[in-house]
Amino acid sequence: MNEGPVSGRPVELRHLRAFLAVADELNITRAAARLRLTQPAVSRTLAALEAHLGVRLVDRSTHHLALTPAGVAFRDRAAVAVAAFDEAVGPGRPGPRPLRLGHAWSAFGPYTTPLLRAWQERYPGTPLELLRIDDRTAGLTRGEVDAALLRGPVEAPGLVTEVLYTEVRVAAVTADGPLARRESLALADLAGGPVVLNPVSGTTTVELWPPHTRPTATLTVGNTDDWLTAIAAGRGSGVSTTSTAVLYPHAGVAYVPLDDAPGVPVLLARRDAPGHPALPRLAALAREIIARGALH
């Protein structure tokens, strides 16, 4: 069925879901596969939404799709709307609606297992799903999760964040390299060779180094797995937190303390809108788990 401009017709939920899939994938073909639709159907749906709004949401002028400034702003509003709809129809679904907790890497650090076990014991009627999503907000702004565990400052509109604790940074170096034999390192020790950065979901940028000692070269990757692989292969070193050292051990990577790097705050984030009814219980339990760990 042809889908032209939706003048006179309301925007439907499928228009928003199609746009969010495109905004996530930045590729019509992958968005269509995710939605189980044809590529032309997704293109028509997106065009219809843009026609209704009277703005261009996606820039198609380059080889790779990109969101326009209007598209970036609309993505957050669309994600909130879709999440609100899912919340509204949730009680009518068979079985309890799970509480989806996103993270880009390292989850809740050393508190991950205690949190999951305590939740299962106390609230068995509400499943807690831990989802790794390689995105700066772990899918929160796109409505894929109800809350997210994030690291470092997050500049995204429409989010409410709470600092739960702070993690210490460590250096990640090639296991058989000379830096791995050091008891501790400074940021300047890493600047002489390439530094592996993950701008998609990581917290390390070249601004972590003082201007006069910034890395001479960088290598960009898209997720934690590729970051580890690059370091293990001797293509560079990296900076992360102690949780990464605990949760992502790698035979080719050695984690060494960093003497002069500031800590990284771990945040519990949610959208600034009515959300899953179990969110207050999640926040309270997270605080309790941290306090309990600090006492031991």
CB 260 within 8 Å of CB 187: yes
pLDDT digits (tens, 9 = 90+) for 63-92: 678 888 888 778 767 877 887 777 676 555
Please name the CATH architecture into which domain 96-166+265-294 falls: 3-Layer(aba) Sandwich (3.40)
Give the list of residues 6+ apart from residue 10 with CB closer than 8 angstroms, or none. none
Cβ(264)–Cβ(154) below 8 Å: no
Looking at CATH, the fold of the domain delimited by 169-262 is given as D-Maltodextrin-Binding Protein; domain 2 (3.40.190)
Structure tokens that stand for 35 in this block: 């939605």
Burial class (CB in 10 A: 0-12, 13-18, 19+), 62: exposed
pLDDT at 67: 81
pLDDT at site 21: 85
Judge contact between 251 and 180, C-beta under 8 A.
Answer: no
Kind and range of the H or E run holding 185 = none
CA distance 82 to 93: 16
Residues of the chain with CATH 3.40.190.10: 96-166+265-294, 169-262
The candidate with the shortest Cα–Cα distance to 258, out of 209, 214, 201, 217, is 209
DSSP code at position 145: -
φ/ψ of residue 82, rounded to 5: -65, -40
Beta pairing partners, 239:
171
Which residues have CB under 8 Å from 89's CB, separation 6+?
none
What global pTM score does this model have?
0.69
Per-residue tens of pLDDT for the chain, all 296 residues:
344 444 456 788 899 999 988 887 788 988 888 888 999 999 999 999 999 999 999 988 766 788 888 887 787 678 778 877 776 765 555 456 789 999 998 999 999 999 999 999 999 999 999 999 888 899 888 777 889 999 988 877 788 999 999 999 999 999 999 999 999 999 999 999 999 999 888 889 999 999 999 998 999 998 999 999 999 999 999 999 999 999 899 999 999 999 999 999 999 999 887 778 899 999 999 999 999 885 54
Instruction: Compute the distance between CA of residue 31 and CA of residue 24 in angstroms, rounded to an integer.
Output: 8
Does domain 13-88 fall into CATH 1.10.10.10?
Answer: yes
* pLDDT per position as a tens digit, 91-136: 555 456 789 999 998 999 999 999 999 999 999 999 999 999 888 8
SS3 for 159?
A: strand
Handedness of CA 206, 207, 208, 214 (dihedral sign): positive
Alpha-carbon distance of 57 to 111, in angstroms, equals 40
3-state helix, strand, coil in the chain (%, to 5): 40, 20, 40
Tokens of 118: 């305590």
The rounded distance, in Å, linking the Cα atoms of 248 and 244 is 5
CA distances from 212 to 202, 209, 219, 260, 262 (A): 23, 8, 19, 15, 17
Residue 193 corresponds to which tokens in the numbers above? 């060779």
Distance CA 206, CA 123 (A): 43
pLDDT score, position 5: 43
Query: Helix/strand/coil (H, E, C) string of 106-132?
Result: CCCHHHHHHHHHHHHHHCCCCCEEEEE
